Amino acid sequence: MKKAHVLYNPKAGNAEIFEKSLLKLKALLSDRETEYREVTQIKDYKEFFASISPEDDVYLVGGDGTLNHFVNDVRDVSYANDVYYFAAGTGNDFLNDVAKGSDDPVLINKYISDLPTVEVNGEEYRFINGVGYGIDGYCCEVGDALKERSSKPVNYTSIAIKGLLFHYKPTNATVTVDGKEYKYKKVWIAPVMNGRFYGGGMMPTPDQDRLDEEHRVSVCIMHGSGKLRTLTVFPSIFKGEHVKHEKIVAVHTGHSITVRFDRPTALQIDGETVKGVTEYHAQFGVPASVK
């Protein structure tokens, strides 16, 4: 019987969620020869895949951040193994998008074989869910600070509401989609999405398909509104209904998207924070005419 290799991230989610997830996976794999190791123990994935049989299965146990690190670590690595994802995070946006309600490991090869990239501050990353910019990046920045001080789960919705009311100041933005430029004032969010969900259940681009045959991503801009109007509309993003408010919400889809703010703010890539960003460029299947 083929062997199972479980790569787990004990820092995903919180300790209780992680322990329950790992125990459940162990039960599911109880009849198989299984090897467990922390993802941090693997320094070279080319070496790792070369050391196991191509018939063996690989299981990733963690959250969206764990997936992000994996897809970037293997971007230049060839492997024939089936890779499964077993969610142990708190937001689990990827799981909600591809297999909502599933408690079983999900085969993810088709979702990670071809991914969009984002260039930030001269560095290029693959992303699996989305790139958040604006108050969503601010929420991750504040959330990171809270995690350093406490082991309690972070309530990102609460951070967003407090940010909207008191702390976060909107920016002006220039958004370029496949060469066409759009200008927006008082921008609250400007994420580029590969999937539908980010931020623990928010759906900024409800029509985005991560398996889009044309390899396109979508950008959502919430703009031009004051604090109270934005706060009134913002909760509807959890059902994707914010897009009905066309005066303050715009969605554009394309292969090459650049978002430029008029002042630095935090950005997040699948939940991983990058501070002090004024511009990012995302692309996916870019035609030569718009590179």
Average pLDDT value for residue range 65-82: 94
For residue range 209-250, what is the model confidence (pLDDT) as tens digits?
999 999 999 999 999 999 999 999 999 999 999 999 999 999
Average per-residue pLDDT for the chain: 91
Structure tokens at 241: 């209904």
Q: Are 87 and 108 in contact (CB under 8 A)?
A: no
Tally Cβ neighbours within 10 Å of residue 23: 10
Provide the CATH number for the domain around residue 105.
3.40.50.10330
Shared domain check, 257 and 183 = yes
Shared domain check, 149 and 85 = no
β-pair partners for 210: none
Shared domain check, 132 and 77 = no
Shared domain check, 90 and 148 = no
Shared domain check, 143 and 92 = no
β-pair partners for 274: 267
Report the number of distinct structural domains present in the chain. 2
Domain encompassing residue 245: 117-290
| Boundary residue ending a domain (78, 112, 146) | 112
Question: When comparing pLDDT for 160 and 230, which is higher?
Answer: 230
Edge-to-edge, what's the strand order for the sheet holding 106-107?
34-38, 4-8, 57-62, 82-87, 106-107
For residue range 116-135, what is the model confidence (pLDDT) as tens digits?
999 999 999 999 999 999 99
Distance of CA 62 to the CA centre of its chain: 13
Q: Is the pLDDT assigned to residue 290 strictly greater than 60?
A: no
Report residue 89's pLDDT band, with 50, 70 and 90 as the boundaries.
confident
Sign, CA dihedral 260-262-266-271, equals negative
Shared domain check, 65 and 104 = yes
Contacts of 129 (CB under 8 A, 6+ apart): 64, 93, 94, 97, 193, 194, 195, 197, 198, 270
Shared domain check, 243 and 130 = yes
For residue range 45-59, what is the model confidence (pLDDT) as tens digits?
999 999 999 999 999
pTM of the model: 0.92
Contacts of 148 (CB under 8 A, 6+ apart): none
